[in-house]
Amino acid sequence: MIRFENVTHIYNINTAYEKKALDNININLDENIITGLIGKSGSGKSTFVQHFNNLLMPTYGKIYLDKKKIGLVFQYPEHQFFEMTVQDEIGFAIKTLDPEKKLDKILNALEFVGLDKNYLNKNPFELSGGEKRKVAIASVLVMQPEILILDEPTVGLDFKTQNNILLNLKKLNKKFNMTIIIISHDMNIIAEFTQKVIIMRDAKIIFYGDTCDAFNIKNLDLDLPLTKILINKLKDKNISVPDNIILFNDLVNFISQKIKENPN
């Protein structure tokens, strides 16, 4: 169960700098799927997810979570580092395991994000931006969380690495029924890798539902994924496309079928 009831969070309450970051949030989240969390900067996304693992507590309202292991990968990975080697950073969450089993899990987590054992003794603070993000993801995955939250997980990564990590997240979701929440400004990622979407605006949740339905909302005031841009161009040419198409491959298959039916 993941439920927010009338949750409001106010920063610097009763001061001149008071700011309402969450405004009466009510939501029952579907579990065991990948959910996208989108909205403009300052809409409340990061504040919302920090309530999952008690980094922040509601000013008002209640949160019901029956999951014990919740992993959060911050937007800026250096904010979660405190060890001086990659091995110690990733291994901190499993420090009670025997050394051999612990090392095996650390290496598996590194492999997942595309790094190898040569990184074990490196200082995480001295890595490149992309490498820091990979280590941050590995340090959370190593504890096999039941809920995994990633704030802009692919920023600073090349396309191949982005795709590999996202595909592996899909595998984790299917293999372990892991509930995954991805915050991203990249609508192509949201379209391709999520089943449901939360849209936030001005500290409120204005939509929660299927990903394909989210991008059919008029006046969304957000970038559209490439698939939806192409669909809109087809509709402008009076080519009807089903509203439930959001995946790029599904659109390609639809167009291919149309060409077969009308070769001229």
pLDDT reported for residue 80:
85
Distances (CA, A) of 54 to 1, 2, 68: 16, 14, 12
Task: Identify the burial level of 73 via C-beta atoms within 10 angstroms of its C-beta, where 0-12 means exposed, 13-18 middle and 19 or more buried.
Answer: buried
* Tens-digit pLDDT profile for residues 105-118: 999 999 988 899 99
Alpha-carbon 233 to chain mean position: 29
The residues, any chain, with a CB within 8 Å of residue 95's CB and separated by 6 or more, are: 102
Q: Is 24 exposed, middle or buried (0-12, 13-18, 19+ CB in 10 A)?
A: middle
Task: Give pLDDT < 50 ranges for the chain.
Answer: none
Task: Give me the pLDDT at residue 258, please.
Answer: 79
Q: Using one digit for the tens of pLDDT, what is the confidence trace for 38-86?
A: 999 999 999 999 999 889 999 999 999 987 789 998 888 778 898 999 9
pLDDT value at residue 112: 85
Q: Quick one: CA torsion of 177, 184, 27, 6, rounded to 10 degrees?
A: 140
What was the pLDDT predicted at 139?
93
From CA 104, how far away is CA 1, in angstroms rounded?
A: 32
- Go through the chain and tell me how many residues it has: 264
For the chain, domains (ranges, CATH) are 2-215 (3.40.50.300), 225-264 (no CATH)
